[in-house]
Structure 1
Amino acid sequence: MKRITWIDISRAIGMLTIIIAHSLNSYTGNYFSNILFAVNVPIFFVLSGYLHKDKSYSKIITGGFFNLLLPYIVTSFIMIMLTAVSLHFHPIYLGRIADSTRYAALAALYGAGTPINNLLGKFFIPAIGAIWFLLAMFLANIFYSFIIKLTTKYKVSDNITTIIFIVTTFIGFHIAKFIQLPWSLDAVLVSLIFYWFGFLIKKYNLVNNGNFITFIFAVSIWFVTAKIGPFYLNVAAATSYTGAIIGGVAGSYAIMVFSKWFANISPENITHIV
């Protein structure tokens, strides 16, 4: 299948926001980091919703296994091995993710993006790190497809479907207040609404119809909601749940429109600009 240039540009921008956000010395709590965290993960779910096509469950699971689960398994194994080498055969830090290989394996099994210091008041779970996203995307693809298949089968309107995804999102947020579920399941529930808005953006051709006014409006909403407080999708935590959803969608849309414009610049125009 032919790649869509502006989609790749949007993904690249999303990756840059992730790298920059996590490279800041004190990246929690300041306004600039809030802007980055508002979109750095949501945009990937919005793009997935934009590109979503109806498939059988077997194809969804098979494709997810090879594209998401297998890379996660291989990377986790490497991280466990590096932890073992670092602990037992090398005096310095070497990609260590835990203080024992047992805890490193536990981190891989649980799939949390950040450490869980007090699970059920008893257990410490080390973070597996950035690859939590692979597990979350695998589950989110299945959950989203399940809901879409049901709403399509019973001819549920877009308005009711939106309400369904709002409910799943707020369930995810509230669960995360009490416990971080394995495979970031609470974050998965929150992510579903970004899939849905990605689908709506495509359905109503909002990227192609985007203009300077809609772009500035989306950026303004993105920046204003970031002022409310941070949004960390990996742990399904936000100062304002509504603000997190609106800001994530608006920021993702702004990036998509910008990427579409940038992709349409011909090499000749780029050379002229330079």
Structure 2
Amino acid sequence: MNTAAPTENDPNTHRRIVWIDIAKAIAMILVFYGHISGSGDNPWFPDLENSIWVIYLFHMPLFFMLSGLTFNPNKAWREFIVSRFKRLIIPYFFFSLYGIAKSILKVTAPTIFASFHAGDMKQPSQELLNILLGNARGLWFFLALFWGDILLYAFNRICGSRLYFRMYLSILVVIALFGWFSIQLTKTNELLPFQLMRSTEAIGFVGLGWLLARPIRSMNRRTMSLWGLASIFAFILCVFWASKMGAPQYPAQMLYTILPHLAASITGSLVIITFAQWIPSWHWLLYIGRNTLTYYGLNGIAIAIVRKVLFSIIPVTIVVSHVLGQLILGISIVLIAILICRITTPVLIRWCWWGIGVDKKNRKDFCTLLRDSTKSSSSYQ
């Protein structure tokens, strides 16, 4: 996704990196799974919370790093800003219509709203203000990536011609990453509007992906596999370490608390990035990878609808009493929600291209592009 969904690859270009699309698709599927538990008074999947916690350690950093792997600041500043605005800011407001609809539902049909077990919402006027100020729930990625890309572009303009540019960029990445995790620990991520505080996460991980782009893309499969195995081992250790960390009791303890979470976010992302090269290039997977922006914007409403329907049929008490039942139903929710997004995406491309970051001249069903592009390996690099 330059989107999350979201990477620098434009969905309409023909020269794409297949394994990056696959990695984006995997990251998007993890987002769906991470959202099955909802944000409200949800008792449905108590035994899946640990797996969801593990996914939350790295799935959004993974999106940012994938964006960094194809980050291209070598454009005129006007072209760069306009392209980011169309790809990120307009979709943010377009998909925020879902938040407005939820506010209307809460006022007009509070019983139905409560049955969705959604997160607590303020008054409609306050929710509208939150959207206008960039604080809409679930859509923060769009704005964070926008500001992160803009700031990295400015950094490249200022320092790009200097001899030690990569060293300067590394310093910026380290400062941004530790800054972001400090912001998380102190719960100050909403201190500024328009996700400006969260832009530190984008700067850090997009910048890290930018730094790693050349070595990663130059690795052969054998070397990449060795990196993947090492990343799995390191990720397991980091997850165990992070699980033992509590909230820091004093400022000096903050650094020690940040390290395992930071390491887990990086190693977890590298696991997906490295092994994405070995996963078959299935059309449905590439389709998700090429449309992560739309899937990301739709995943909340799709999952809410599927949960509502399934739990109207299956009693909650039956599900929560069996771990296997929770897993089967959780995966079913993910698959059905993805199917809903698959059906909806070409409709939005056809009729709402202006709202989802697609150029008018390229508003064709991406399945056609996938079918044509996968016929010849020369379409990719």
Query: TM-score under structure 1 normalisation?
Result: 0.77
Distance 2:265 2:82 in 1: 29
Residues 71 and 254 (structure 1), Cα distance of their counterparts in 2 relative to 1, 3 Å cut: same
Distance 2:279 2:88 in 1: 29
Task: Work out the number of aligned pairs and report it.
Answer: 245
**Match for 2:70: what amino acid?**
L
Query: TM-score under structure 2 normalisation?
Result: 0.57
Once the two structures are TM-superposed, the CA of residue 104 in structure 1 deviates from its matched residue by: 1.4
Which residue of 41, 48, 51 corresponds with 2:60?
41
Give yes or no for contact 1:17–1:40 (8 Å, CA) kept in 2.
Answer: yes
Cα deviations by residue, 1:235-273 (Å, 9 ceiling, x for unpaired):
xx99832333332222222211211122479x9xxxxxx
Which residue of 62, 70, 74 corresponds with 2:90?
70
Say yes or no: does 1:229 pair with 2:239. Answer: no
Q: In the alignment, which residue of structure 1 is the partner of 2:112?
A: 92
Q: In the alignment, which residue of structure 2 is the partner of 1:135?
A: 143
Distance 2:101 2:255 in 1: 35
Once the two structures are TM-superposed, the CA of residue 132 in structure 1 deviates from its matched residue by: 1.3
Once the two structures are TM-superposed, the CA of residue 217 in structure 1 deviates from its matched residue by: 0.3
Say yes or no: does 1:13 pair with 2:21. Answer: no
Residues 107 and 57 (structure 1), Cα distance of their counterparts in 2 relative to 1, 3 Å cut: same
Which residue of 178, 191, 214 corresponds with 1:203?
214
Q: In the alignment, which residue of structure 2 is the partner of 1:194?
A: 205
Cα deviations by residue, 1:10-62 (Å, 9 ceiling, x for unpaired):
011111212222324348973x3343112210111101110011223212221
For residues 32-181 of structure 1, the aligned pairs below 5 Å read 32-54=51-73, 55-88=75-108, 92-93=112-113, 98-112=121-135, 128-176=136-184, 177=186, 179=188, 180=190, 181=192
Residues 212 and 64 (structure 1), Cα distance of their counterparts in 2 relative to 1, 3 Å cut: closer
Distance 2:217 2:233 in 1: 17
Residues 169 and 101 (structure 1), Cα distance of their counterparts in 2 relative to 1, 3 Å cut: same
Once the two structures are TM-superposed, the CA of residue 193 in structure 1 deviates from its matched residue by: 2.1
Gaps of at least 5 residues in structure 1 are: 113-127, 232-236, 268-274
Distance 1:56 1:244 in 2: 36
**Match for 2:95: what amino acid?**
T
Say yes or no: does 1:215 pair with 2:228. Answer: yes
SS of alignment partner, residue 204 of structure 1: helix
- Could you tell me the percent identity over the aligned residues? 21
Residues 70 and 100 (structure 1), Cα distance of their counterparts in 2 relative to 1, 3 Å cut: same
**Match for 1:21: what amino acid?**
G
Once the two structures are TM-superposed, the CA of residue 102 in structure 1 deviates from its matched residue by: 0.6
List structure 1 segments (4+ residues) > 4 angstroms apart after TM superposition.
Answer: 26-29, 94-97
Once the two structures are TM-superposed, the CA of residue 78 in structure 1 deviates from its matched residue by: 4.2
SS of alignment partner, residue 95 of structure 2: helix
SS of alignment partner, residue 229 of structure 1: helix
**Match for 1:198: what amino acid?**
G
Give yes or no for contact 2:30–2:59 (8 Å, CA) kept in 1.
Answer: yes
For residues 255-270 of structure 1, the aligned pairs below 5 Å read 255-263=272-280
Residues 214 and 77 (structure 1), Cα distance of their counterparts in 2 relative to 1, 3 Å cut: closer
**Match for 1:77: what amino acid?**
L
**Match for 1:76: what amino acid?**
S
Cα deviations by residue, 1:115-144 (Å, 9 ceiling, x for unpaired):
xxxxxxxxxxxxx22211111111111112
Once the two structures are TM-superposed, the CA of residue 101 in structure 1 deviates from its matched residue by: 1.4
**Match for 1:197: what amino acid?**
L
Gaps of at least 5 residues in structure 2 are: 1-12, 38-44, 246-253, 283-373, 375-381
Greater RCO, 1 or 2 (C-alpha within 8 Å, sep 6+): 2
Once the two structures are TM-superposed, the CA of residue 108 in structure 1 deviates from its matched residue by: 0.7
SS of alignment partner, residue 199 of structure 1: helix
Distance 2:172 2:100 in 1: 39
Distance 2:52 2:99 in 1: 28
Give yes or no for contact 2:20–2:276 (8 Å, CA) kept in 1.
Answer: yes
Q: In the alignment, which residue of structure 2 is the partner of 1:118?
A: none
